[in-house]
Structure 1
Amino acid sequence: MASDSIEATDPPSPPKNVYKDPDDGRQRFLLELEFVQCLANPTYIHYLAQNRYFEDEAFIGYLKYLQYWQRPEYLKFIMYPHCLFFLELLQNTNFRNAMAHPANKELAHRQQFYFWKNYRSNRLKHILPKPLPESSVSATPASAAPPALPPTTIPAAASNIPPTPPQAPSPMQYGSTSVRNDPRNSGVEKRKRK
């Protein structure tokens, strides 16, 4: 009976100073997004290792907390997907210790470059169908040719779609494909024209 009277007289009071974020977490979201994307740079990870950030338990906990960026609702904001790969690697103590050495930083940077250089061509090998060899098509006799497929009809909605323009070459291609625009060869071309 005494406990009932205490509960009735002392209702829980709401906290007086509740922090209300003025921008509804937008600033924190942008800061965390920027930090996570900085992890795509092996030089930045090397900087963190050199300045002993990886020895701070609070910072390690922060890296574990940032793994929520791998969820689909946050993943769509990431522009540099390598940052998520490095964020996953930073959960390992051996990787954090190894990134303190300049040789390992250079190795990670070189491997990242080779991935970017070859990613599109390697990906297209598995996506695009392989063309038929020319010799097998011309060598088959007419009687052994496969039956002709029936003509396909194109729906009216699909016929209004304009053809896609050819893709421009990537600015990240390795090497110079144009000798004419190369400033080192401009003098050679002038001499040849005379």
Structure 2
Amino acid sequence: MAVLDDIIDPRVQQAIVGGLFLASGWIYNGYRNRKRERRRRLEKMQDVQTALIAEIDHYVLALKQFDLTANWRRVVGGMEDDDSYIPVVPSERNDTVFTALVADIHLLPEPVIQPVVGYYNQVFAVDAIIDDLRSDLFREMDQVQRIGMYTDYIALKQEALARGETALRALRVSTGREPNPSSRVADPSDQS
């Protein structure tokens, strides 16, 4: 840089070159940190979604094991035949993972949050009605009221099943475990 020696002091030139290297290092380091943070965020998002899939899938499979409508008919039939019959409703716990991960719900992609939160709201409604069905107040009601509440309970479980399937589909599409039906390319044989 002999040409610049007459214009700029060599020490200033060294400072400029050193500053450029330092600035380049900051920029490169910032880029690497942002890239590492994005990778961590994606990994955490995948982990959260995988855990939610496991929990939701468990409850959906449990609900599918029973014919809820047939169960409703059987229990309500017994209640109609015997005014003193009160069904035993077991307590459930189907939100352990969600409760542990609720602070990280913002990590989920936007199309996944709505169905997942909707499903868990339904699970909370099922839990609430189970508490009511196990209460002394329920035992004190007349049989018509108890049948109504039990009917609501089964309807809430059916809705939980439907919402669970929707949430699972959204989670599986988001994690790449299931193709996105809205991005499916039309097969020429589909056209008539």
What is the TM-score with the length of structure 1 in the denominator? 0.22
Q: Which of the pair has the greater relative contact order for Cα pairs under 8 Å at 6+ separation?
A: 2
What is the TM-score with the length of structure 2 in the denominator? 0.22
Structure that is richer in helix per residue: 2
